[in-house]
A and B are shown apart, each in its own frame.
Chain A
Amino acid sequence: MSPTHHLQPQITVLYFAAASTATGLTSEAVPLPSGTPFPLSSLAEVLASRHPDTGLDRVLASSQWSVDAEMVDDPESVSLKGGEEVAVICPVSGG
């Protein structure tokens, strides 16, 4: 493992419901592209490109984000620095 690998920040992404069905995953470690802090608003593009042709892009378009178990109201105002737990919150259907 190279030292640069250790230095590259990464986040944990959690998938539920339709996002989990699309990716076949419940979570994955995602390295953040260089130039952190990384805007949350750019994360959908990164995840969609990791899972092409799965329909994840459409799921993300109708979903919200949570970061460290807090709902995000405005993704434009949130940046990721590494170490966060980010969840894709699909439209909910409890009850």
Chain B
Amino acid sequence: MTSSETFSNWPPASVEAVLDTADGIAVLTYSPLDVQQIISSVGDDRAGATAVFLGTTRNSFKGKVVTRLDYQAYSKLAIKTMAGILHMAQEQFSRNAHQPQNAASSLIKSVVYHRLGTVPVGEPSIVIAVSSPHRKEAFLACEYILEEVKLKAQIWKREFYEGEKEEEAEWKSNA
């Protein structure tokens, strides 16, 4: 093993995690994300709509060729943050435009999966799925969950470029 490979080992606090709550499931995993399984997990006969967002690793940044991306998380904290965002999504989008008196159940289930470790170009790093009786709440909640996770979850991405030294690879910032 070269020294750069040794250094790219994941921090011990960046571990797999699952938090299953009444609002949905948050997952951090080193395994490839199984999109079909994730979509199926929000399936419900009451749902007329399922909104899905896939974030995949891109092959270029400002003209440079991206060879791979590494993700790490402070899992213990990040998983709480992700579950909290699912809860906020439930609170915020539980208004049903057609039946305002029946406000409790307009989002049925929302899940967010984020991959850790090396994610090869073209593979999903994040998958969000939201099921709802109606499309509008599903779309809105899905986008809300994505933007909040990008802004708040204690997850970090490092981009490696073709022809550049590994130790100079850049840690990104969503700010």
Chain A residues with CB under 8 Å of chain B are 14-18, 20-21, 24, 26-27, 66, 69-71, 87, 89-95
Question: 9 A-B pairs, CB-CB below 8 angstroms?
Answer: A16-B13, A16-B154, A16-B156, A66-B74, A69-B80, A71-B77, A90-B156, A92-B155, A95-B157
- Which residue of the partner chain, among A15, A20, A21, A66, contacts B77 with CB atoms under 8 Å? A66
Bound complex: CA A91 to CA B136 (Å): 31
With known contacts A71-B77, A94-B150, A17–B156 Cβ distance under 8 A? yes
Contact of A87 among B74, B155, B175 (CB under 8 A): B74
Residues on A with C-beta less than 8 A from B114 are 94
CB < 8 Å A-B pair total: 88
User: Are B156 and A92 in contact, CB atoms less than 8 angstroms apart?
Assistant: yes
B142 within 8 Å of A by Cβ? Answer: no
Query: A37–B121 Cα gap in the complex (Å)?
Result: 47
From A17, A70, A94, contact of B153 by CB (8 A): A94
Compute how far the CA of A75 lies from the CA of B82 in the bound complex, rounded to whole angstroms: 23
Residue in B76, B152, B171 with the greatest tally of chain A CB atoms within 10 Å: B171
A24 to B8, CA, bound (A): 10
Task: Please give, as numbers and ranges, the residues of chain B lying within 8 Å of A15 by CB-CB distance.
Answer: 11
**B173: contacting residue among A26, A66, A87, A93, CB under 8 A:** A93
Measured between beta carbons, the chain B residues less than 8 angstroms from A17 are 72, 156, 158, 171
CB <8 Å contact, B77 and A92: no
Q: Is the CB of B77 within 8 A of A95?
A: no
- Is there contact, CB below 8 Å, between A92 and B72? no
- Of B11, B155, B156, which is within 8 A of A14 by CB? B11
Chain A's nearest CB lies how many Å from the CB of B66?
14
Contact B13 A92 (CB under 8 A): no
CB B148 to nearest CB in A, in angstroms, measures 10
Any A CB within 8 A of the CB of B118:
no
User: Which chain B residue has the least Cβ–Cβ distance from A12?
Assistant: B13
Chain B residues contacting A87 (CB-CB under 8 Å) are 13, 74, 77, 154
Q: A89 touching B154 by the CB < 8 A rule? A: yes
Q: Beyond the given A26-B11, A90-B171, A92-B151, please list 18 additional residue pairs across the A-B interface where CB-CB is below 8 A.
A: A14-B11, A16-B14, A17-B158, A17-B171, A26-B13, A27-B13, A66-B74, A69-B74, A69-B77, A91-B173, A91-B175, A94-B73, A94-B78, A94-B155, A94-B156, A94-B157, A95-B125, A95-B126
